[in-house]
Copies of this chain bind each other. A is one copy, B any other.
Amino acid sequence: MSKKIPYRFYLTEDQMPTQWYNLRADMKEQPDPLLNPGTLEPLREEELYPIFCKELAAQEMDSKTRYFDIPEEIQEMYKIYRPSPLIRAYNLEKELGTPAKIYYKFEGNNTSGSHKLNSAIAQAYYAKKQGLTSLTTETGAGQWGTALSEACAYFGIPLTVYMVKCSFEQKPFRKAVMQTFDADVIPSPSETTQIGKKILAENPGTTGSLGCAISEAVEKATTTEGCRYVLGSVLNQVLLHQSIIGLEAKKAMELLEVYPDIVIGCAGGGSNLGGLIAPFMRDKLVDNKDIRFIAVEPASCPSLTRGKYAYDFCDTGKVTPMAKMYTLGCSFIPSANHAGGLRYHGMSPILSKLYHDGYMEAVSYEQTAVFEAAKLFARVETILPAPESSHAIKGAIEEALKCKETGEEKTILFGLTGTGYFDMTAYSAFHDGKMVDYIPTDEELEKAFEKLPKVDK
């Protein structure tokens, strides 16, 4: 007889993971190394010190250590808002009439509204421990900026957030949340950096871009004593921290005596997906478990499904090291859409490698179809999902409907990364029938690919 599965399942405090899991330690082939963009030689750890604090630089480069102890102080903060629940989507199953069993790991029940807090805490902690006196970052939609503001307020380290000017103006509430946590939120481009001044002089009316905000944040970090830059996705260190999601999910499923046939997550830079799948991917890599992984991305920014696997810059401003990844080219600017955090031109090198080697699948969906899934989900599961997360919902629904056709009772796990409370402009556009789908043409992509750096590796 199978165990009775509750709607919501929480680990107890003493069942929570005390180590992060580093998936690279179990990968058969390693992702290609980061390159110094000047020499095109593999980057050495020390070269990262001016940007990242030492502990994080070490985590970034370490592909051998399988488990990293989570420092006591980080565990304490995790305990304030974690564990996140593993939820059985009984109502969604019923609504779809599917024999599939759908579970989701919900990361939205904290004030940052998403999983981003898991890594923000780690990055703020290590910065504080190293004696750094301030941090900088950029934010577009605002989830990462909010998460880092919370973490920095908690550990008492001042934070400057460069917020893309159009978001700064259109999302005053996001700004207000960050200010509640005492972050200094600056609309980018700004007069506080050389690069900002230059851009403003050249384009006085510009509303900014993520690339520009990154450049300002990096300049501020590298020109301010005791200051470092932090980033909320893409990096190996971020996937390491986010493994807490997958570790908790796996432990919860063990206790419930279930195991997923399919694991699904939305993919922008890859931090949530990488964190969710990590321990399950280990089962596939090490124990040959028969399990499918599906990355869901927006059709408007299809880095995995239509990008190239190539060396590229991690930022539009080309100031960062180069990474081998699926990319649309760092000059690619996705159309104005509401996919929020899923607008990055590239993809985590770890996930890119796994996808390239055939361990993971990828699909893309258009915006209105994703919001239709979001609305259905909200009605039956009572959670208003973030636009990003709704891509995973859409992916899960499609797989559940396939099960309905075949009659298979598959177990599906997906990551519900966050809530959409600050994305209501997008929902309004959807309600008012003003949402437009956009798919880049092959010509547009080719044009962006042509600008990829020429690296013979």
Contacts and interface: CB of A to CB of B under 8 A. Distances in A.
A248 interface: no
A257 to B, nearest CB: 16
A36 interface: no
B383 A176 contact: no
B13 A6 contact: yes
A378 interface: yes
A379 B79 contact: no
Interface of A: 6-8, 10, 12-13, 77, 79-81, 91, 109-111, 113, 117, 150, 153-154, 172-173, 176-177, 179-182, 375, 378-384, 419, 421-422, 424-425, 427-428, 431
A67 B145 CA distance: 47
Interface hub of A13, A154, A176, A179 (most chain B Cβ within 10 A)? A176
Contacts of A379: 153-154, 181-182
A176 B387 CA distance: 14
The 4 closest A-B pairs by CB, nearest first: A173-B424, A6-B13, A176-B424, A7-B79
A10 B154 CA distance: 24
Given A6-B13, A80-B382, A117-B382, 17 more contacts: A7-B13, A7-B79, A8-B81, A111-B378, A153-B378, A154-B379, A154-B382, A173-B421, A173-B428, A176-B425, A176-B427, A177-B427, A179-B431, A180-B384, A180-B431, A182-B379, A421-B422
A239 to B, nearest CB: 23
Interface hub of A79, A424, A428 (most chain B Cβ within 10 A)? A424
A382 B428 contact: no
A7 B381 CA distance: 26
Nearest to A419: B111
B8 A176 contact: no
A423 to B, nearest CB: 9
A180 B378 CA distance: 8
Contacts of A384: 111, 177, 180
A428 B171 CA distance: 12
A427 B175 CA distance: 10
A81 B428 CA distance: 25
A180 B427 contact: yes
B80 A424 contact: no
A451 B388 CA distance: 54
A77 to B, nearest CB: 8
Contacts of A375: 180
B177 A111 contact: no
Given A419-B111, A422-B421, A381 B176 contact: no
Contacts of A13: 6-8
Contacts of A378: 111, 153, 180-181
Nearest to A13: B6
A425 B383 CA distance: 23
B179 A382 contact: no
Contacts of A12: 6
B382 A81 contact: yes
Given A154-B379, A181-B378, A427-B177, A109 B109 contact: yes
Contacts of A381: 80
Contacts of A8: 10, 13, 79-81
Nearest to A10: B10
A144 to B, nearest CB: 16
Contacts of A181: 378-379
Nearest to A429: B176
Contacts of A425: 173, 176
Nearest to A421: B421
16 contacts: A6-B12, A81-B382, A81-B383, A109-B109, A110-B383, A153-B378, A172-B428, A173-B173, A173-B421, A176-B427, A176-B428, A177-B384, A179-B428, A180-B427, A181-B378, A182-B379
